[in-house]
Amino acid sequence: LERITIRDVAKEAGVGIGTVSRALNGGVIKKETREKILKAVKKLGYAPNWYARILAGGKTRRVMLITPEIRTEFHWRVIKSFDEYLDQLDFETVIYPIISENRIAKIRSGSCITEEVDAVVLCTLTLNNVFGSEYEPIKPMVLLETAQENYDSIDLDNTLGGEMAAKILLSHEAKDFFVLHTREKDPFRISQSISARLEGFRSGLKKAGICLSPQNILHSEIFSGPSHDQIVQIFEKYRNPAIFALIDNFALPILDIASSLKKIPGKDFFLVGYDDQTWTEEAGLTTIHQPIEEMGIQAAQLVVQKLQNPGLSAQQIRLAPKPVIRNTA
């Protein structure tokens, strides 16, 4: 099986190889020539050799998305929308999950795929997390779900989201407030966003003169969620508890257990989630909506803009959460 090269395309189209290259990379070219070449490309099924292209100083049309997490619905949807948008513009996205420490080391040593992309987007991660403190970026970089001075970024006002949750929960006759929080060891996997939600919630309560007690913050593993015993205790000890789940997931066991206990949501207890995940509508969960797909798409747009115009000064886009009132509060 012989590899089809730019030379074959040039011959098929009856032009020089430089012209083919220009047609493919958006250089100045007559429209007809361009079409002739594109036809030849299609006919032969030509695909460029990235190594040659890069070695010769060209662009990869690849964007790397570095993320600490790939198991949550949030990340799945962000990544999916990001990828689909860029795909239409004929970019490829290389997903690089930090599943182990060694993957950070690899990035820092510069011996990995990072080197073969035109731009990098950092999702839920700070520059410091990934590159260490002394680092100056050599290629376009966009932050997703975080923000930092002088960098393009797209994120959501999670503090505001936390305040919204507080407001909703305060509108009922609840005296006891609880937060379902994550527990993380890996420093780079601790989410600033989630902390911001908590802070927003805390300050929202404070404005109403309520102080959130540390022991009312229940930590649990992100994928197993709060334990049965913790939840049952809340229902046993407190009348009309008000619970803020920092991620929708954590609300699921609450709903299950409350239901078996014949506790009526929105009456015997109050519950607000965060994210507006797909299953929450059917479950009737009141939650704080994040426009997840929009975040992915806007991040992609920032990347494309930066690639087209590297001199552009940094844009920091901050979206707003929206409360979605359903049955649980």
Partner DNA sequence: CTGAAAGCGCTTACAG
- The listed partner (a copy of itself, DNA, none) that binds 94, CB under 5 to 8 Å by sort, is a copy of itself
Residue 99's binding partner among a copy of itself, DNA, none (Cβ under 5 to 8 angstroms by kind) is: a copy of itself
The minimum distance between CB 35 and DNA, in angstroms, equals 10
Which residue, among 123, 74, 80, has the nearest Cα to 98 in the 3D structure? 123
H helices present in the chain, as ranges: 6-13, 17-25, 31-44, 50-55, 73-88, 101-109, 127-131, 158-170, 192-207, 228-237, 251-260, 280-283, 292-308
Give the one entry of DNA, a copy of itself, none that residue 70 binds, where binding means its C-beta sits below a cut-off of 5 to 8 angstroms depending on kind: a copy of itself
Residues sharing a CB contact under 8 Å with residue 206, sequence separation 6 or more, in sequence order: 212
Q: Environment class of residue 189 by beta-carbon count within 10 Å: exposed (0-12), middle (13-18) or buried (19+)? A: middle
Q: Name which of DNA, a copy of itself, none residue 29 binds, using a CB cut-off of 5 to 8 Å depending on partner kind.
A: DNA
Q: Do strands 141-144 and 119-123 pair parallel, antiparallel, or not at all (unpaired)?
A: parallel
Is there a contact between 118 and 61 (Cβ–Cβ < 8 Å)? yes
Closer residue to a copy of itself, CB minimum distance, 225 or 321: 225
For DNA (CB under 7 A), the number of binding residues is 31
Instruction: Select from DNA, a copy of itself, none the partner in contact with residue 5, using the beta carbon and a kind-dependent cut-off of 5 to 8 Å.
Output: DNA
DSSP conformation class of 224:
T
Kindly state the smallest distance separating residue 115's Cβ from DNA, in Å.
10
Give the number of residues written for the chain. Answer: 329
Q: CB 216 → a copy of itself: shortest distance, Å?
A: 20
Q: Which residues here bind a copy of itself, judged by CB under 8 A?
A: 1, 45, 47, 49-52, 54-55, 62, 70-73, 76, 79-80, 83-84, 87, 92, 94-97, 99-100, 102-103, 106, 109-113, 115-116, 138, 221, 223-225, 228, 231-232, 252-253, 255-257, 259-261, 279, 283
Smallest distance, DNA to C-beta of residue 33, A: 3
Minimal distance in Å, beta carbon 199 to a copy of itself?
A: 28
- 112 contributes a contact to DNA by CB under 7 A: no
Q: What 3-state class would DSSP assign to 2?
A: coil
Q: Quick one: what does residue 26 bind among a copy of itself, DNA, none, with the CB cut-off 5 to 8 Å set by partner type?
A: none
Q: Does 129 contact DNA by CB under 7 A?
A: no
Q: Which is nearer to DNA, 56 or 313 (CB)?
A: 56
- Tell me how crowded residue 297 is: count the other CB atoms within 10 A of its CB: 18
Q: Which residue has the tokens 């009922």?
A: 172
Alpha-carbon distances, residue 4 vs 26, 38, 256, 273 (angstroms): 21, 14, 58, 53
As given in the structure block, the two tokens for residue 7 are 């030379």
Structure tokens at 247: 């991620």
Write the binding mask 21 to 60 for DNA: x where contact by CB under 7 A, - elsewhere. Answer: xx-xx-xxxx-xxx-----------x-xx--xx-xxxx--
Strand, helix or coil for residue 119: strand
The option from a copy of itself, DNA, none interacting with 45 (CB < 5 to 8 A, set by class) reads a copy of itself
The letter for the amino acid at 154 is I
Q: Which is nearer to DNA, 1 or 224 (CB)?
A: 1
Cα–Cα distance, 286 to 280 (Å, whole number): 8
- State the minimum distance, in angstroms, from the CB of residue 308 to a copy of itself: 22
Site of interaction with DNA (CB under 7 A): 3, 5-7, 14-22, 24-25, 27-30, 32-34, 46, 48-49, 52-53, 55-58
